[in-house]
Amino acid sequence: MMKRSVRRTSPKQNRREFLIKTGGALAAAAIASPPILTGAAETVNIGALYPTTGSMAQIGVGCVAAAKLAAEMINDAGGIKSLGGAKLNLIISDVQSDTTVTRTETDRLISGNKLSAIHGCFASALTLIASEVAERAKVPIITGSSSDQLNKGRIYTFTPFARASQFAKAQLQMSKLVSDKPKVAVIFENTAFGTSTSNGLRELAPAEGVEIVMFEPYSAGFTDASPLVNKIKASGANALFSVSYLNDLILIVRTVKQVGLNVAINGGSGGFVIPDFYKNVGKLAEGLQGVAHWNHDMSDEAQKVNAEYKKRTGEFLFEYAGGLVAQTFMLADALERAASTDPQKVREALSTLDVSKGYAAMAPGGKVKFGPDGKKVKFGPDGKNIYGRPVGVQWQNGDLASVFPKEDARAPLLRT
């Protein structure tokens, strides 16, 4: 089997300390010493921007492990055949969960390497910055980030999964699964992810027949959720939407349970849909609902990749990591059709992507085509998947099951 190299552009750090901080097997899978690529024809350099240190490392480390798995699958299947079997070569950069570092690392990744494309960063606040740099450099970037802002004025940015506004609509519709007259408290972190998603909730609620009785931002990374939870209790809400990443969401759920607040919780996306959430709250998670742009039970291909990822890491393939596998196959499809490593030609091939089978089509509904739907905008397709939609999920027996909408459901909703 042909082997590939993985280079890093992030600062050096103590390997033992990093393994301890990010958790054993998963981190080891993501940062294992790379093999040396020898005797290959032309290689295809793909930039990978993910936070493997800092507050978002739990997700970033898993994404790197998934990126390596996807590249290995493509390379083992013969690489990019239109380029003589060229192998994908991941060049990984740790953006350290920091917006300033994201800007400098993206610039360094592009200026220091001959890249065909980039994928990253998953966190919208980071991806917005990375995509700005990529746009200026005219290098295509494909991402699982959900901020609607990513598709405004950008022609090298591709978002194959659901938008933040679509997540909002799905959450509102799911609230009717637990109450005929939903009264929802919306709390959200004051970042691009939290703000865009929560604004979508507020704007769409009237049309969906949902009353929002509380709409409250908070500073991401807080240490005491009691004041926020007391406001939720006073609001009279029968449902809670928390637009939060992992650590904040864990604290919120624990506090809700501690004060005995009887409210249905839809944790949205972000930290809610990764294995570490269940690890930290245990059976408190059972029956809680959320939304995701990807889930590992959505198709036969997704289940196959999930089985391999779980074998390597001990974890199920969560939303961002699973979506990243699909994105890598989308890039491979574009490279095959472009028959070139030139980023402009790869961008053009991505803009005409139209898949409905295989690993590249691993998305809710099983189709990916960048739109708008056959219509021309000033600079061509806007980078959004015209079929993109979220899937509603629920924690059942320590795993995430797809339960909404009906056509995507793989398990019945558990009533709690």
pLDDT at res. 149 = 86
Task: State residue 29's pLDDT score.
Answer: 39
Residue 190: pLDDT band (50, 70, 90) is confident
What pLDDT digit, counting tens, does each position of 69-80 carry? 999 999 999 999
pLDDT at 31 over 90: no
pLDDT greater than 90 at residue 25:
no
Q: How much of the chain, in percent, has pLDDT values that exceed 90? A: 72
More confident residue, 382 or 229: 229
* Residue 27 clears pLDDT 60, i.e. is over it: no
What's the pLDDT at 247?
Answer: 85
Q: pLDDT digits over 100-112, tens only?
A: 999 999 999 999 9
What pLDDT score was predicted for residue 381? 60
Q: What is the pLDDT of residue 168?
A: 85
Q: How confident is the model at residue 61 (pLDDT cuts 50, 70, 90)?
A: very high
Q: What is the mean pLDDT of the chain?
A: 87
Residue 137 confidence (pLDDT) above 90: yes
Whether the pLDDT of residue 271 is over 80: the answer is no
pTM above 0.75, yes or no: yes
The pLDDT, as a whole number, for residue 16 is 35
Give the pLDDT score at 220: 87
User: How confident is the model at residue 379, as a pLDDT?
Assistant: 45
Predicted local confidence at residue 290, as pLDDT: 93
Q: SS3 for the chain, per residue?
A: CCCCCCEECCCCCCHHHHHHHHCHHHHHHHHCCCCCCCCCCCCEEEEEEECCCCCCHHHHHHHHHHHHHHHHHHHHCCCEHHHCCECEEEEEEECCCCHHHHHHHHHHHHHCCCCCEEEECCCHHHHHHHHHHHHHHCCCEECCCCCHHHHCCCCCEEECCCCHHHHHHHHHHHHCCCCCCCEEEEEEECCHHHHHHHHHHHHHCHHHCCEEEEEEEECCCCCCCHHHHHHHHHHCCCEEEEECCHHHHHHHHHHHHHCCCCCEEECCCHHHHCHHHHHHHHHHHCCCEEEECCCCCCCHHHHHHHHHHHHHHCCCCCHHHHHHHHHHHHHHHHHHHHCCCCHHHHHHHHHCCEECCCHHHCCCCCCEEECCCCCCCCCCCCCEECCCCCEEEEEECCEEEEEECHHHCCCCCCCC
User: Would you say residue 22 has pLDDT above 90?
Assistant: no
Q: What digits encode the pLDDT tens for the residues 344-377?
A: 999 999 999 999 999 999 999 999 999 864 444 4
pLDDT at 268 (0 to 100): 82
pLDDT at 372: 65
pLDDT of residue 178: 85
Asked whether the predicted pLDDT for residue 166 surpasses 50, the reply is yes
In the predicted structure, residue 20 carries a pLDDT above the cut 90: no
- Read off the pLDDT band of 8 (50, 70, 90): very low
> Quick check: 382 pLDDT over 90?
no
The answer to whether residue 53 scores a pLDDT higher than 50 is yes
Banded pLDDT at 97 (limits 50, 70, 90)? very high
Mean local confidence (pLDDT), 29-41 = 40
